[in-house]
Structure 1
Amino acid sequence: MNIVMPLLIGAAVVILSSLIPDRHRRPFSAILLAGAGAAYLSGGGLGIGEFLFTAVLTVVAYRGLTSWTFIGIGWLLHTVWDVVHHLRGEPIVPFAHDSSFGCAICDPVIALWCLAGGPSLSTMIRRPLRLPRKSLDG
């Protein structure tokens, strides 16, 4: 499996999402995450676990309506779910054996952008993407 294409797809999602006006960007990203949470329902092969994961990611996506951090965490949770599916041989796209592997490469790219606060494209051009630092001052 080529890792370049999933990285490019992740970058494309970030760039296109960053073009959405600021007031709509986080809600859109939360909805996108909620949809990704249900991606394995039609044939994921982990039985009731698929429904439990979808429920967990739905709650995380709901919290993401007001928090970029929750959206980023949700994409990282989806990455773990992708790895589990890849290792079990239950890909996200049944006819594409390495599709879950590719998704596990793509999702952290999106997660990092979300954890950085989902900046606009112009902001990313002006300053490189970096995660916010927590102040020790209080």
Structure 2
Amino acid sequence: MSIVLALSIGAAYVCLMSLIREPHRRRFNAIMVAGAGAAYLSGGGLGLWEFAFVSVATYCAYRGLESWTFIGIAWLLHTAWDVLHHLSGDPIVPFAEHSSLGCAICDPVIALWCLTGGHSVTDALRVRLARWRGRRGPDRAPAPEKELPTAPASE
């Protein structure tokens, strides 16, 4: 898996999650990171350490129901777990040799978004586009001036 593809997957995840309104976005992401934390459990490549990791990831996911910071921490923990699995030769997808490495590249993108508050990037883009459209540049017609109300003439 190429670095660009892994980064693109992380960015696509952030954009898709941005379509969910708060507080549902945060809670949904807590559930997603809990699932990611348990992804390696069936393979058991790291033995009993898999159970220890799932316990820590589940705790972070639970705290993430009310905190973006804990969701970001859980994604960073999952990144470290991805690296360990890649180095030990136990990929997350058994038939895709570099899947854990790709996951280790993708997850920090998601973690960074979570650690900065998990704000909707689609809302931010809409606001910026509206501001851009509202600007008047030299190649555009000037904005119409507002007429000030006039005071009635006194006789």
What CA deviation, in whole Å up to 9, does each residue of 1:12-63 have, x standing for no partner? 1100001101120000000000000000011141111111100110000000
Alignment correspondent of 2:93: 93
Q: How does 1:6-45 map to 2 (within 5 A)?
A: 6-45=6-45
Distance in 2 of aligned mates of 1:7 and 1:19: 19
Contact 1:44 1:85 in 2 (8 A): no
Letter in 1 for 2:59: V
Q: Percent identity between the aligned chains?
A: 69
Cα shift at 1:123: 4.0
Greater helix proportion? 1
TM-score under structure 1 length normalisation: 0.88
CA RMSD of aligned residues (A): 1.2
Gaps of 5+ in 2: 129-155
Moved over 3 A (4+): none
Q: Distance in 1 between matches of 2:22 and 2:104?
A: 27
Determine whether 1:77 maps to 2:96.
no
Larger Rg: 2
Instruction: Look up the equivalent residue of 2:30 and give its one-letter code.
Output: A
Given residue 95 of structure 1, which amino acid in structure 2 is its aligned partner? F
C-alpha separation in 1, matches of 2:116 and 2:54: 24
TM-score, structure 2 normalization? 0.79
- Which aligned pairs between 1:58-137 and structure 2 lie closer than 5 A? 58-125=58-125, 126=127
| Long gaps (5+) in structure 1 | 128-138
**8 A Cα contact 2:15 2:122, kept in partner:** no
Give the number of aligned pairs: 127
